[in-house]
């Protein structure tokens, strides 16, 4: 169970002093709390129990937590199970290492497992009432299979490791498990049964005499926990009721108190194994992608959990969020701070001011909002969550949450902008524009056909590997640019090949393509004509943007699908490439260099360009011929709405335009 303690000497002033020393950024975003519970109803696996087996004077919690009787005889959750054959369980074979596992070395240890998961809105199964007044929601009966909300979705797996002398059914844990499952996680929680190994308080670890006499049992308790978590993954990825609904590439963990330590041990952290503070690795299960520790246990000053000065964490790359209480003496923040500084992977420490070693009800929304944002970013790979996490300072309302160590992860590289052949200018006259949103790049390639006429091709390229995006290249025909109305139904796209974009860094890459059977590979780099903006997943309103770089199209969005205009905005200049159609319906692209002429207004000359065919080797920039055909003005009412006024070949028109968002919430450059 969690214990209430205070550490008055560790004040907010000292926390902020440490923050000033380590901060690599200045997060300032106040995030609204997530709604609790989440969008999914929750169902759970069968943990039916016969509570009539609990003798007078005993409690069910003692069985769940593995606490032995006063006479030393054992109790565990298996003693109460009504349907043991239909209850999930794993067994752990403790390694034959008495230095770590003491008297448990070489033994087989059973673990009951509770799994809660997103279920269908019409799940008819009843809640299973517990003698504590809590309940297991929509619990399966007998050998019933899970009832999923749909027939195909694979959900992330979230391991749940409770605190010392707790259980998935004790105290606040069953509620926490249900909340996490309601956000679309399959949450798997072993009954660690810590009482089977060790039954004194964690504060006792600060007593050297206690350590000398109880060290082996304490080590066995800690070392077996991560083994049971790893065995739980094995179980669920091989059990046919669960395996085809879990995404094996998205596995995270949430650990409370000692459970926060267990997640790190599972991912290769070195456990302190001697009074001399030497350490050794228990397991390194690379399937675990990220973890959150709530009031996580990093040991006591006299006996840190991860070796001398926490050096057992030096090579741990697991992304890790610690949410700690400033007044916690059971898991002192001074140890957490020291340990976090050794982690090699992305990490963050959030302090709950005035909170002790317990679940702080006032901070409920803070705890779950931080947890779910971090898991979405690091387990699900959600770029919006990652962008939020990088800027997040605290959660509105609730308790007093303070970022002590800002998130050390990096924003995903965004390649949005105008690119051309490398070295820069070597093939001046053609280019390729990237609108990069989430894990997709929409590329518009401006080049020339075999007659030298302007040709544009378009490709939606999802991410297919590290820094690699691939898709099908299309050429398109449609109504002339001056058609009124412009009919999207007349737009016809034809696949002509494939393209792959591979990036060596944020500013250099290669464009490999096959078009009509012709294959080529070009080195590309960003085209720079002013101060380069930084682009990232949008947080907040697109309308608030003051840099207009993006892919735009007619407003209302989709009303004239089939043409668009790329705006590359650097400093006080917008370079626009407008892809549309000529009088005969064939592809036509026009270019505008538009300096700022007034607040929110950019104007310039429109050019039509001819040049060497896309497959010319070498490509000769001297053959590129621009011809003035008109002028254009962009007038922005906000960051997401503008008017595009132009005269081309004597035809004057004005169109309302807006950003094209193809993978929400879009991208903002600044």
Residues 578 and 443 in one domain: yes
Is residue 412 domain-resident? Answer: no
- Which DSSP string corresponds to 182-226? TTT-EEEEE---GGGT--S-GGGGG-HHHHHHHHHHHHHHHHHHH
Structural contact between residues 338 and 298, judged by C-beta atoms closer than 8 angstroms:
yes
Question: Mean pLDDT over residues 490-507, rounded?
Answer: 97
Distance CA 616, CA 121 (A): 60
Q: Give the pLDDT band (50/70/90) at residue 554.
A: very high
Give burial (CB, 10 Å; 0-12/13-18/19+) of 112: buried
What is the per-residue pLDDT for 199?
83
d(CA 535, CA 553): 19
Residue-wise pLDDT tens digits, 424-445: 999 999 999 999 999 999 999 9
Percent above pLDDT 90 for the chain: 88
* Residue that is written with structure tokens 């070295």 in the block: 423
Within a domain: 3: no
Q: Are residues 523 and 611 in the same domain?
A: yes
User: Of 373, 405, 437, which closes a domain?
Assistant: 405
CA 667/CA 649 separation, integer angstroms? 34
85 in any annotated domain: yes
Residue 568 near residue 574, CB atoms below 8 Å: yes
> Contact at 8 Å (CB) between 5 and 257?
no
Q: Which of 413, 390, 649, 426 is nearest to 539 (CA)?
A: 390
Per-residue confidence band for 25, with pLDDT thresholds at 50, 70 and 90: low
For residue 270, the model assigns a pLDDT of 98
The reported pLDDT for the residue numbered 612 is: 97
Q: What is the DSSP string of 637-663?
A: EETTEEEEEEEETTEEEEEEEEE--SS
pLDDT surpassing 90 at residue 312: yes
Model confidence at 412, pLDDT cuts 50, 70, 90, reads: confident
Angle between helices 173-181 and 364-378 (to 10 degrees): 40
Q: Give the contacts of 520 (CB within 8 A, at least 6 positions apart).
A: 512, 513, 615, 617
Predicted confidence at residue 8, as pLDDT, reads: 33
Residue 200: which CATH number? 3.40.50.1820
Cα torsion angle, 396, 399, 402, 403, sign: negative
- Neighbouring CB atoms inside 10 A of 508's CB total 13
Same domain, 229 and 135: yes
Q: What is the mean pLDDT of residues 123-140?
A: 97
| Terminal C-alpha separation, the chain | 48
Residues 296 and 378: their CA atoms lie apart, in Å, by 18
17: confidence class by pLDDT, cuts 50, 70, 90 = very low
Q: What is the pLDDT of residues 178-229, one digit of tens each?
A: 999 999 999 999 999 999 998 877 777 777 777 777 888 899 999 999 999 9
pLDDT at 247: 98
What is the reported pLDDT for 197?
92
Helices 383-391 and 364-378: crossing angle in degrees, nearest 10, is 130
Does some domain include residue 2?
A: no
Q: Is 411 a domain residue? A: no
Tell me how many domains the chain contains. Answer: 2
Q: How many CA atoms does the CB half-sphere of 141 hold within 13 Å?
A: 7
Q: CA 161 to CA 170: how far, in whole Å?
A: 12
The share of the chain scoring above pLDDT 70, in percent, equals 96
Q: Decide: helix, strand or coil at residue 570.
A: strand
pLDDT surpassing 90 at residue 619: yes
| Domain match, 331 and 465 both | no
Q: Please check whether residues 464 and 579 belong to one and the same domain.
A: yes
Q: In this structure, are 365 and 299 located in the same domain?
A: yes
* Same domain as 426, residue 299: no
The pairing of beta strand 417-421 with beta strand 518-526: antiparallel
Q: Is residue 458 part of a domain?
A: yes
Same domain, 289 and 354: yes
**1 within a domain of the structure (yes/no):** no
Mean pLDDT of the chain: 93
Q: Are 473 and 637 in contact (CB under 8 A)?
A: no
CB 667 within 8 A of CB 550: yes
Distance CA 248, CA 558 (A): 37
Residue 448 has pLDDT above 70, yes or no: yes
Same domain, 508 and 607: yes
273-307 pLDDT tens trace: 999 999 999 999 999 999 999 999 999 999 999 99
Dihedral of the CA atoms 24, 28, 33, 38 (nearest 10)? Answer: -50
3-state helix, strand, coil in the chain (%, to 5): 20, 35, 40
Say whether both 261 and 387 belong to one domain. yes
Q: Is the pLDDT of residue 5 over 60?
A: no
Using pLDDT thresholds of 50, 70 and 90, give the confidence band for residue 540.
confident
Question: What are the residues facing 332 on neighbouring strands?
Answer: none
Cα distances from 39 to residues 36, 42, 48, 183, in angstroms, run 9, 10, 26, 6
CA 620 to centroid of chain Cα atoms: 45
**Angle 146-142-238 (CA atoms, 0-180°, nearest 5)?**
50
pLDDT of residue 18 exceeding 50: no
On whether the CB atoms of residues 27 and 391 are closer than 8 A, the answer is: yes
* 444 shares a domain with 387: no
pLDDT of residue 603: 98
Q: What is the pLDDT of residues 115-126, one digit of tens each?
A: 999 999 999 999
- Say if 371 falls within a structural domain: yes
pLDDT digits (tens, 9 = 90+) for 601-614: 999 999 999 999 99
End position of a domain, from candidates 405, 432, 461: 405
Q: Are 291 and 259 a contacting pair, CB within 8 Å?
A: no
| Separation of alpha carbons 7 and 527, rounded Å | 56
Tell me what pLDDT residue 410 has: 85
Residue scoring higher pLDDT (183 or 24)? 183
Which two tokens mark 587? Answer: 């592809």
Q: Give the domain-ending residue among 379, 405, 431.
A: 405
Q: Are residues 337 and 439 in the same domain?
A: no
Q: pLDDT-derived band of residue 339, with 50, 70 and 90 as boundaries?
A: very high
Q: Using CA atoms, how far apart are residues 60 and 131, in angstroms rounded to an integer?
A: 7
pLDDT in tens, 153-165: 999 999 999 999 9
Closest C-alpha among 194, 191, 188, 284 to residue 242:
188
> What domain range is 175 assigned to?
12-405
Structure tokens at 350: 């959030």
């Amino acid at each position: 169970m969690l214990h209430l303690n205070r550490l008055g000497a560790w004040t907010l002033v000292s926390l902020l002093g440490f923050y000033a020393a380590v901060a690599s950024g200045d997060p300032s975003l106040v995030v609204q709390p997530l709604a609790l519970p989440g969008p999914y109803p929750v169902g759970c696996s069968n943990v039916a129990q016969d509570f009539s087996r609990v003798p007078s004077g005993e409690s069910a919690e003692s069985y769940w937590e593995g606490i032995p009787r006063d006479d030393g005889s054992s109790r565990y959750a298996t003693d109460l199970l009504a349907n043991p054959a239909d209850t999930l369980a794993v067994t752990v074979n403790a390694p034959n290492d008495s230095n770590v596992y003491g008297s448990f070395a070489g033994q087989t240890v059973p673990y009951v497992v509770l799994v809660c998961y997103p279920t269908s809105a019409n799940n008819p199964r009843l809640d299973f009432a517990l003698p504590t007044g809590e309940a297991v929601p929509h619990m399966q009966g007998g050998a019933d299979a899970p009832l999923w909300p749909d027939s195909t979705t694979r959900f992330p797996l979230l391991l749940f490791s409770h605190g010392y002398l707790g259980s998935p059914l004790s105290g606040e844990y069953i509620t926490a498990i249900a909340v996490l499952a309601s956000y679309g996680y399959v949450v798997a929680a072993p009954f660690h049964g810590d009482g089977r190994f060790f039954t004194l308080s964690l504060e006792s670890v600060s007593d050297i005499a206690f350590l000398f006499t109880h060290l082996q049992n304490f080590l066995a308790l800690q070392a077996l926990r991560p083994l049971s978590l790893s065995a739980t993954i094995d179980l669920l990825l091989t059990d046919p009721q669960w395996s085809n609904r879990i995404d094996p590439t998205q596995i995270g963990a949430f650990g409370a108190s000692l459970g926060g330590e267990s997640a790190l041990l599972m991912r290769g952290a070195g456990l302190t194994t001697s009074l001399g503070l030497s350490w050794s690795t228990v397991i390194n299960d690379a399937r675990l992608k990220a973890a959150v520790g709530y009031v996580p246990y990093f040991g006591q000053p006299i006996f840190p959990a991860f070796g001398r000065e926490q050096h057992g964490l030096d090579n741990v790359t697991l992304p890790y969020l610690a949410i700690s209480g400033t007044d916690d003496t059971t898991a002192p923040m001074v140890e957490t701070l020291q340990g976090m500084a050794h982690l090699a992977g992305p990490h963050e420490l959030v302090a709950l001011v005035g909170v002790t070693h317990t679940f702080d009800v006032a901070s409920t929304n803070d705890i779950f909002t931080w947890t779910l944002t971090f898991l979405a970013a690091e387990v699900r790979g959600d770029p919006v969550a990652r962008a939020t996490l990088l800027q997040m300072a605290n959660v509105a309302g609730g308790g007093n949450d303070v970022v002590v160590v800002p998130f050390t992860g990096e924003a995903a590289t965004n390649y949005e902008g105008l690119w051309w052949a490398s070295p820069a200018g070597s093939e001046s006259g053609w280019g390729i524009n990237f609108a990069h949103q989430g894990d997709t790049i929409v590329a518009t390639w401006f080049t020339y056909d075999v007659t030298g006429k302007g040709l544009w091709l378009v490709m939606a390229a999802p991410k297919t590997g590290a820094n690699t995006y691939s898709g099908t290249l299309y050429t398109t025909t449609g109504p002339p640019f001056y058609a009124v109305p412009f009919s999207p139904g007349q737009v016809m796209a034809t696949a002509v090949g494939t393209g792959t974009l591979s990036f060596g860094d944020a500013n250099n890459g290669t464009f490999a393509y096959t078009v009509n059977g012709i294959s080529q590979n070009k080195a590309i780099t960003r085209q720079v004509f002013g101060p380069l903006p930084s682009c990232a997943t949008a947080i907040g309103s697109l309308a608030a943007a003051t840099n207009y770089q993006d892919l735009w199209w007619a407003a209302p969005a989709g009303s004239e699908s089939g043409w668009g205009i790329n705006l590359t905005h650097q400093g006080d200049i917008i370079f626009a490439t407008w892809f549309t159609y000529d009088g005969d319906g064939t592809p036509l692209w026009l270019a505008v260099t538009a300096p700022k002429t007034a607040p929110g207004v950019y104007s310039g000359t429109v050019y039509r360009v001819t040049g060497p065919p896309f497959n010319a080797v070498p490509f000769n920039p001297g053959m590129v011929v621009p011809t003035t055909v008109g002028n254009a003005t962009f007038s922005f009412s906000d960051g997401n709405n503008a008017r595009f006024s132009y005269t081309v070949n004597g035809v004057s028109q004005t169109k309302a335009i807006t950003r094209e968002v193809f993978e929400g919430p879009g991208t903002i450059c600044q």
